[in-house]
Chains A and B, each alone.
Chain A
């Protein structure tokens, strides 16, 4: 299966971009329903989304450039078409999450918006959109898994990215399914997850999922330190941070309950 995309009215549409767009478009009504369900301001929601988007793109792109700094041609850095190629190049999801943190801080401190209820209501949309991105990866043949001949293995016959003709573990599909399960749980239980509980639970679970799935990935350029990939190291850091924050949240709840 697969080249990098398909043609729609003569225009090339890459799978990854198409699936991300599809995920975002499906998320708009989902987020709207949640905003109405929690009786929140749609303007504040758009401000938080916009700023999160900007900071997220910046964080994801910066981390990607950091990981692939050796491949950059600094002599062409003033060339606008080269800048365009870099901007279309790639992103690292964990960089986006770091950017998201700064965005939420900015909204809270500089704009005076209480972000907690918006997070509680709409955080589940993030893994759902991300899951669609992973399906895009599966279709395009990037972020592929280790050689594997068992059930549900994927064999690419026409991919410029994945090795063709051998069975591969469908790591992208597994990650997408897990993301949708996480997203569904977050949306379903959002009214019960008070405070920042939903955020730190999501970060903890996703970090652990990603840490484990990285062992099943076979694509190159993962960035490596001490036998672990960049995403695994960041995953461990974020998971540790989330556990500390969850512990703090539970302590606060306990104190409030027994006051």
Chain B
């Protein structure tokens, strides 16, 4: 779980940093998956061996913030259909 979280977290971080708006939603979704995997990893890891899961969790949180909150911003009501049509 911890390694998976780290991998997914790094990918979401890269998407958030590099791709900006276009794939921001993908970075956000991957980041959330990373957060779930990281928290599961921390929960199930033996005492004092949750380092990788914690690193994955941190990367995922930053990736989610970059991807979802800063770049996908547009969202909701804002002229959604105009973009689709």
Contact = CB atoms under 8 A, between A and B. Distances in A.
- Do these two chains interact? yes
A68 B75 contact: no
Contact of B81 (A16, A21, A81, A89): A89
Contacts of B24: 88
A73 B72 contact: no
Interface stretch (A137-145, A195-203, A234-242): A137-145
A142 B77 contact: yes
Contact of B75 (A20, A219, A221): A20
Nearest to A45: B39
B17 interface: no
B76 A137 contact: yes
Given A43-B39, A46-B35, A90 B81 contact: yes
Nearest to A56: B32
Given A41-B43, A43-B43, A81-B22, A13 B81 contact: no
A54 B33 contact: yes
A35 interface: no
A73 B84 CA distance: 8
A229 B23 CA distance: 32
B78 A90 contact: yes
A58 to B, nearest CB: 9
B83 A89 contact: yes
B77 A21 contact: no
B12 to A, nearest CB: 12
B76 A85 contact: no
Contacts of B70: 21
B85 interface: yes
Contacts of B76: 16, 20, 90-91, 133, 136-137, 142
A72 interface: yes
Interface string A88-132: 111100000000000000000001000000000000000000000
Nearest to B70: A21
Q: Is the interface of A mostly helix, strand, loop or mixed?
A: helix
B69 interface: yes
A50 interface: yes
A14 B73 CA distance: 6
B72 A17 contact: yes
A6 to B, nearest CB: 11
Nearest to B23: A84
B52 interface: no
Contacts of B43: 41, 43-44, 47
Closest 9 CB pairs of A and B: A17-B73, A90-B80, A142-B77, A89-B80, A50-B36, A46-B39, A21-B69, A87-B25, A50-B35
17 contacts: A15-B78, A16-B77, A21-B73, A43-B40, A46-B57, A47-B36, A50-B33, A71-B81, A84-B22, A85-B83, A87-B72, A88-B74, A91-B75, A136-B76, A142-B78, A161-B77, A161-B78
Interface of A: 4-5, 13-18, 20-21, 24-25, 41, 43-44, 46-47, 49-51, 53-54, 57, 64, 68, 71-73, 81-82, 84-91, 111, 133, 136-137, 140, 142-143, 160-161, 219, 221
Given A17-B74, A46-B39, A54-B36, 7 more contacts: A15-B78, A50-B35, A88-B25, A88-B75, A88-B83, A90-B75, A90-B81
